[in-house]
Amino acid sequence: MVGTPPELERGTGVPAHAQIERWLLASIAAGELVPGDRLPGERELAGRLGVSRMTLRQALASLERDGVLLRVPGRSGGAFVAEPGPGPRVDCDLTGLAGFTEQMRRAHLRAEARILRAATVPAPAAAAVALGVAPGSPVHEVARVRSAGRSPVALERSYFPDLPGLLDQDLTGSLYALLAARYDLEPRTAVEHLDPVIAQPAEAAELGIEPGAPLMLIERTAYAAGGTPVEYALDLFRPDRVRISVRSGVTEPA
């Protein structure tokens, strides 16, 4: 059964229908709503939320398009939580350098990580250049499959400087938070390059897709304050699950 509706925030720039979508997605991610559950009727739910039925229908229609809800017409119909499929696409905004864990939190999805490799290795040429070390110098390599709502969405491979004790830490959460808390090396800026690629067999197996399926490669070098390089990463995202966005603006001439 759907939980207590939130108090919708007014004047924040986030439309009411988007807040309703986030609430319902969070309820599903938390297990408060499970596949097959029927939402309250539109009149009742709109009243509990304090919105018009038109606003509520806008939210329900969006979730239906994303495959989260199934709406059945008729007296015995209604809006039902759909069986889990690939799931809706998640918006990942590269503008603010938020890590995957934070991006999933904003989308009200649970971020999970499965460690494929965590080892100290000789720095590959590209990683050495990015991190400012000699080729073959020891660096830490961490490869993880990242999931949102239990569905794999990305394959991350990151290289870090030879920081003492890094591989002894919990590597299933936010690595950026770990860099900040333990080493005072919070990533502040990054240079990122995007390229469309196709999935190789090993990558496809980890991401649950067919070999040759399209992927989006993001090559990133992240820097702490003062321009110290702290990460070189090669991230592969499933474009059917993740939509990459970058915000831009016009600066006034000096």
Residue 118 vs residue 100, higher pLDDT: 118
Question: Does residue 9 sit within a domain?
Answer: no
Q: What is the rounded CA–CA span in Å between residue 245 and residue 214?
A: 18
The domain containing residue 60 runs over which residues? 16-81
Q: What is the rounded CA–CA span in Å between residue 189 and residue 247?
A: 15
Q: pTM score, two decimals?
A: 0.64
Neighbours of 248 (CB within 10 A): 5
Question: Does residue 250 sit within a domain?
Answer: no
Range ranked top by mean pLDDT from 146-160, 184-198, 232-246: 184-198
Confidence at residue 233, expressed as pLDDT on a 0 to 100 scale? 96
Check residue 38 and report its DSSP letter.
B
Q: Please indicate, yes or no, whether residues 224 and 197 belong to a single structural domain of this protein.
A: yes
Q: Please indicate, yes or no, whether residues 107 and 232 belong to a single structural domain of this protein.
A: yes
Predicted confidence (pLDDT) at residue 192 exceeds the cutoff of 70 = yes
State the CATH number of the domain containing residue 229: 3.40.1410.10
Confidence at residue 70, expressed as pLDDT on a 0 to 100 scale? 82
C-beta of residue 217 within 8 angstroms of C-beta of residue 195:
yes
Question: Does residue 3 sit within a domain?
Answer: no
State the CATH number of the domain containing residue 41: 1.10.10.10
Neighbours of 76 (CB within 10 A): 7
Q: Amino acid identity, residue 111?
A: A
- Paired with 204 in beta bridges are none
What three-state secondary structure class fits 48?
Answer: helix
Residues 6+ apart with CB under 8 A from 204: 210, 211, 212, 213
The two tokens of residue 130 are: 């990015």
Q: Please indicate, yes or no, whether residues 146 and 237 belong to a single structural domain of this protein.
A: yes
The two tokens of residue 141 are: 């390599």
Confidence at residue 31, expressed as pLDDT on a 0 to 100 scale? 80
